[in-house]
């Protein structure tokens, strides 16, 4: 699969956008830590025109807040069947599975990993996932793995330097 055909990037949250640690206070409030470089990459790839979706098995107010900050195109939480949601999104966007990049880290991501045109996993993903993806990141989940994959896709699809110049010249509100 060529990264040049990617039109949609789909992300898991825990272990991909975060380091996988769950911090839950005695009041039940959940805290997550997101990497700003991943956020900047998401902003840049959306500026370029590639859609971004999050499909996660958990529900978290912090994910909702982060998704709004980054203007994520599609957010689905509390999802057991990620494949079903993926089919909904590609139908809505009128694209093919080959146009999808998925980044996941654990066994619940395997069904989607096997469907898409390009798949990646953070360095610290479980072994069975690492064996199943097209690309294993140099970085761990929550530590720049998403940005690494986005940069690879953009490097194949665009003149990266020109893209960055255009992004900065738009003087848009930059969200990391």
Strand 100-103 versus strand 30-31 pairing type = unpaired
pLDDT at 31: 87
Q: What is the pTM of this model?
A: 0.94
161 is in an annotated binding site: no
pLDDT band for 173, please (50, 70, 90 cuts): low
- The answer to whether the annotation marks 159 as part of a ligand binding site is no
In this predicted structure, the answer to whether residue 6 has a pLDDT above a threshold of 70 is yes
- pLDDT of residue 4 exceeding 90, the answer is no
Share of the chain above pLDDT 90, in %: 85
User: How confident is the model at residue 13, as a pLDDT?
Assistant: 97
Instruction: Read off the pLDDT of residues 77-121 as tens digits, 9 standing for 90 and up.
Output: 999 999 999 999 999 999 999 999 999 999 999 999 999 999 999
Cross-strand bridge partners of residue 11? 54, 103
In contact, 16 and 102? CB cutoff 8 Å: no
**Residue 174 banded pLDDT, cuts 50, 70, 90:** low
C-alpha–C-alpha distance, residues 93 and 96, integer Å: 9
The CATH superfamily holding the domain 3-169 is HAD superfamily/HAD-like (3.40.50.1000)
| pLDDT exceeds 80 at position 1 | no
Q: How many C-beta atoms lie closer than 10 Å to residue 27's C-beta?
A: 5
Angle between helices 160-169 and 36-48 in degrees, nearest 10: 90
**Residue ranges per domain, the chain?**
3-169
pLDDT tens digits, one per residue of 26-83: 888 888 899 999 999 999 999 999 999 999 999 999 999 999 999 999 999 999 999 9
Strands 100-103 and 118-121: parallel
Angle between helices 145-157 and 160-169 (to 10 degrees): 110
CB burial class (10 A; 0-12, 13-18, 19+) of residue 148? buried
Is residue 134 part of an annotated ligand binding site?
no
């Amino acid at each position: 699969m060529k990264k040049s055909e990617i039109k949609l990037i789909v992300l898991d949250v825990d272990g991909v956008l975060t380091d996988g640690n769950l911090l839950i206070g005695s009041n039940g409030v959940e805290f997550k830590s997101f990497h700003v470089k991943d956020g900047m990459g998401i902003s840049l790839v959306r500026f370029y025109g590639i859609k971004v979706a999050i499909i996660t098995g958990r529900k978290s107010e912090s994910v909702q807040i982060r998704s709004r900050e980054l203007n994520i195109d599609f957010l689905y939480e509390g999802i057991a069947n990620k494949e079903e949601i993926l089919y909904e999104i590609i139908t809505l966007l009128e694209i093919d599975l080959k146009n999808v990049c998925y980044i996941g880290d654990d066994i619940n991501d395997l069904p989607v990993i096997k469907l898409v045109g390009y798949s990646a996993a953070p360095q610290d993903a479980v072994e069975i996932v690492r064996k199943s993806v097209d690309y294993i990141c140099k970085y761990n989940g929550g530590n720049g793995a998403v940005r690494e994959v986005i940069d690879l896709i953009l490097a194949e699809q665009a003149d990266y330097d020109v893209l960055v110049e255009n992004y900065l010249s738009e003087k848009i509100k930059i969200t990391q």
